[in-house]
Structure 1
């Protein structure tokens, strides 16, 4: 793994391999901010500079910066650069991001509601024993991260669970779409899972979905996925206001 990320991430190489690259890159950028004592208003390195420094693709840097912006750590100004946010002035950083990006958030859930219930239905009919084992393992990891209060890894694991459902469809086009969504539309995951109680609710909703897929019940699988996504959107609207 890249030297800087390895140096800035706690744990063994084996544990690093299990963690999504975006989480590792996000943590590495946070470490840069801490190590260089960057303050509110300071300009962060450019995407190109961060890409070269961390030895990862610019798309990985872009994804990490989106997550840092949603969490209120940085502010990205098109054409100007990335700047450190004023943490003291922010009442609720995720709330500010949701308000500013309401349209893209609506589009995020609109696309997921079009694709994922059908994916869950197909997965229930095609999932192999190995697919089910992966789903169960990913679900258990998600539960563990939620119980430990590790929000960033819980969010990563939540995305991995949804991707595992897509992979169980055996449809390469659908898998590609879900992988793209997980990498480029993950602000919706991030925003929803910062709503108080949403992580805990997701444990039950994921479990209902997993049981339906294991039972090979296509209708129940689609229903469980649609309920999960609609609940997430409703919780965002309830907590942050209508979007």
Structure 2
């Protein structure tokens, strides 16, 4: 049941409780939430806190506010789950390292799934991205777009709709971060060729349907990039 709010960040506590009720099935798609006045009484908080919580829940895609009718629980879909993440990545300013941490979780698993499931057209997309990387390397360009397309092709090759949509939703943010981080990494003259070779090895493991090697190579790649980026940021702080 709903509980009175006694801690700070009141609207977040309200969001957590309503979200938990949805997760437990006590609130189902199509159910109408109590009125603002009722919520104020049940939670024992101000109207402002309730309005903040309603706005947050609506942005998260958990509820729908219908003018003149009330507030209803929405059917949760992939977009409603990943859209708030995309917005958070957009407004946060110092998320480079956090994004690479998240990528380690997503893309290491994705590399293994791609090795098991990739089809010919998806392998062709990865190879095309590698060829663009190679040309960019010769021209001393950053190659961030080819990098993005390579990782995106891997996500598509997983044949996992949730993972694919997640990567697609945050792709714009990732592209901006890739451009920023690659410019930092390229300050090391050995980085461009090393990064290309790392992508090539990942491609070959996926092509050979070697899921274990694909995961290990992807993890090593992302950890290496993360470590270099961390050193760059530390040097700038000092």
TM-score by length of 1: 0.54
For structure 1, the residue ranges without an aligned partner over 5 or more in a row are 1-65, 67-77, 79-99
The reply on whether 1:211 has 2:200 as its aligned counterpart is no
Which of 163, 170, 175 is the matching residue for 2:152? 163
- Higher mean alpha-carbon deviation, 132-141 vs 181-190, is at 181-190
The reply on whether 1:133 has 2:124 as its aligned counterpart is yes
Counterpart position of 1:117 = 108
CA–CA distance in 1 between the matches of 2:171 and 2:220? 19
SS at match of 2:113: helix
Counterpart position of 2:177 = 188
CA–CA distance in 2 between the matches of 1:241 and 1:190? 19
Change (3 A) 1:185 1:141: closer
CA–CA distance in 2 between the matches of 1:229 and 1:211? 17
- 1:41-72 residue CA offsets vs partner (Å, 9 max, x unmatched): xxxxxxxxxxxxxxxxxxxxxxxxx8xxxxxx
CA–CA distance in 1 between the matches of 2:182 and 2:119? 29
CA–CA distance in 1 between the matches of 2:172 and 2:119? 25
CA–CA distance in 2 between the matches of 1:236 and 1:101? 15
Counterpart position of 1:107 = 98
TM-score by length of 2: 0.56
Larger Rg: 2
- 1:122-172 residue CA offsets vs partner (Å, 9 max, x unmatched): 000001112112211111111111211222xx1111101100111111112
